[in-house]
Chains A and B, each alone.
Chain A
Amino acid sequence: MSEPIISFRDAVKEFPARGPRRRRHRPQRAGAVRAVDGVTLDIAAGEVFGVIGYSGAGKSTLVRLVNALETTTAGSVVVDGTDLSGLSEARLRPVRAGIGMIFQQFNLLRSRTAAGNVAYPLEVAGWSKADRDARVAELLEFVGIADKADSYPSALSGGQKQRVGIARALATNPRILLADEATSALDPETTADVLALLQRVNRELGITVVVITHEMEVVRSICHRVAVMERGRVVELGDAYQVFSAPQQAVTRRFVASALRDRPSPAVLRRLRGRHPGRIVTVRIDEVSGSSAQVMEVLADRGVHGTIVYGGITEVAERPYGSLTLELVGSDTEVSAALAGLHAVTAVVDHGTAAAPLEDQSDGRRDTTGVGHDGGTPSASGDLRVRPHRPGGGPFGGPTGLVEGNDR
């Protein structure tokens, strides 16, 4: 990892019980509320870093520690070489000015046009009128709404408002851009546009982007690394691809399941068995193991006919990822041989046949986690456990060697 541009060390943020208003997401309990509870985290210069968590997990507070909209109760936050803890309000202002921020509700000044909003941080930074005008035009061009320069926010769509927000955040050439649920108020198509723009900001301008979200889809499409937050703590941290392919925590599995709907739920499985009498298996497709070509090759070698009945392959962090559910048709020996062959190339979950279904051990947990296949291999047929699994991991659940690469 390159030099960290943001470093949290045991960062704690407590709010008094009757603390500042507008903390919508925090449960109000007696005593102080720890919104951020001992977070240690490094964010590298130049990466797109995701912080995902449910409402109230503390992610918004965490990101506000970076630009000192909130200050730590304990621990430290170092941004671009400056330790923010203990700095006076006046000393924090220039630090804030060097960090761009965009918001879920855009937070544009209604009394100013798009151009006026983008000019605001430049006024704060003391730019001359001529310099401001040139920079504003350049920024509006970059975000693709040069024609809306003289429109007031009330006349702009959500996507256009967020583009103004991004242009405003980039105005003073910050090295860091904080995106607080920047796409949560947008429709899916606009979300994709705004995410693509954030990706451009990262690639073309080299700006470190910290994305706060509760949507795994956002992490899937643009984040290099991700931290999963729960109750003020970072419970999981890693490359986006690694976290997607081998989620360790229940909360992470829930998020992954929300973004990838490639694996059949019990209800889907019941319907699949109704339509397809043959052996039903789910195989993982990723860039390390089990490309679909490999899978098809194994089946052809064993003389088994395989039909794709469910699933999909998508991209996580721009790398292929997904799973396919197949119906295997052939003699029992051929199918067994094919299963052994599949186990050799990728992770497999055997659902059995319609006549002799195999229950996934994880069914009980599936209800709580929302994702299957994390409980290990089917219990009913020990003969199919070709590939050993680590305790707690499953073909799609635990550490699979995808990251370490020492498993096969």
Chain B
Amino acid sequence: MRPDLVPLLWDAFGQTLYMVLITLVVGGFFGLLIGLGLYLSRPGNLLANRPVFAVLNVAVNIVRPVPFLIFLVALGPLTRAVVGTTIGIEAFTFAMCIMAAFVFARLVEQNLVSIDPGVIEAARAMGASPLRIVRTVVVPEALSPLILGYTFLFVGVLDMSAIAGYLGAGGLGDFAIVYGYRQYDWAVTAIVVVIIIVIVQLVQWLGNSLARRALRR
């Protein structure tokens, strides 16, 4: 790899970090909210509400299966309305946040469904309000699988960032294609791939160990 590419690689790394971190925080937060909404409003659950559940469920089912590349384009009008433009790192990060929220919502819901309903009943029997039950029972009891789900989300977001990068948001994916693939510089591609693998491994290791600690076994 040419030495003059190193600063560019750092820039790309920074751009990827920017996209991924913002998406993880914003998308993760809204994903948690939507996921909790799905879980709580499900018929028979704490705040059973069939219409709310139906709307959330359909929304998640519509957004989640759309390939991200198409979603990015389809979201154009909304992106323009909110961000002011449909290209550039901010515009793509916006789309990533939305996709991540819906992906994470389903992961959250699936993990919460496994909570023993008896524990929630016990909390109700002790006079706890639904909000308190969410905060002190639902989330802590499912913390371990939630952490693993969040780790899974990270890999998905990293993947999304590469696609966004290719479309002009920059980042590691863009760097690998522009300076590696197109320049026939196989080493650049390899270095980027190695960096991505290392990041994924580190995050997965971190997620696993946090999840294990949260499991209390």
User: A residues touching B (Cβ–Cβ < 8 Å)?
Assistant: 19-22, 67, 69, 90, 93-99, 101, 103, 105, 107-112, 120-121, 123-125, 152, 154, 168, 172, 178
Contacts and interface: CB of A to CB of B under 8 A. Distances in A.
Contacts of B44: 19-22
B141 A107 contact: no
Given A105-B116, A120-B136, A111 B124 contact: no
A111 B143 contact: yes
> Which 6 A-B pairs rank lowest in CB-CB distance, beginning with the nearest?
A97-B127, A107-B122, A107-B118, A111-B140, A121-B126, A21-B44
Q: Which of B116, B127, B140, B143 has the most CB of A within 10 A?
A: B127
A125 B127 contact: yes
Given A22-B117, A69-B121, A111 B216 contact: yes
Contacts of A111: 140-141, 143, 214, 216
25 contacts: A20-B43, A20-B48, A21-B44, A69-B124, A90-B129, A93-B127, A93-B128, A93-B129, A96-B124, A97-B126, A103-B118, A105-B116, A105-B118, A107-B118, A107-B122, A109-B123, A109-B137, A109-B140, A110-B216, A111-B141, A120-B128, A121-B126, A123-B136, A124-B128, A154-B217
A80 B129 CA distance: 22
B132 interface: yes
Contacts of B121: 69, 103, 107
B6 interface: no
Interface string B138-153: 0011010000000000
Nearest to B217: A154
A124 B140 contact: no
A96 B127 contact: yes
Nearest to B124: A69
Query: Which of B125, B129, B136, B217: most chain A CB closer than 10 A?
Result: B125
A94 B124 CA distance: 11
A96 B217 contact: no
Contacts of A97: 126-127
Interface residues of B, number: 25
Interface of B: 43-44, 48, 116-119, 121-129, 132, 136-137, 140-141, 143, 214, 216-217
A194 to B, nearest CB: 17
Contacts of A154: 216-217
Q: Label chain B's interface by main secondary structure.
A: helix
Contacts of B126: 96-97, 101, 120-121, 124, 168, 172
Nearest to B141: A111
Contacts of A94: 127
B117 A121 contact: no
A107 B116 contact: yes
A217 B98 CA distance: 59
A172 to B, nearest CB: 8
Contact of B125 (A69, A105, A125): A69
Given A22-B117, A107-B119, A111-B140, A124 B127 contact: yes
A112 B128 CA distance: 16
Nearest to A104: B118
Contacts of A178: 125
Given A19-B44, A97-B126, A101-B126, 17 more contacts: A20-B48, A95-B127, A96-B125, A101-B125, A103-B122, A107-B116, A107-B122, A108-B122, A109-B119, A109-B140, A110-B119, A110-B216, A111-B141, A112-B140, A121-B127, A152-B217, A154-B216
A152 B213 CA distance: 12
A25 to B, nearest CB: 14
B125 A99 contact: yes
A255 B19 CA distance: 67
B7 to A, nearest CB: 46
B145 to A, nearest CB: 12
Contacts of B124: 69, 96
A19 B122 CA distance: 20
A120 B123 contact: yes
B122, B129, B143: most-surrounded residue (chain A CB, <10 A): B122
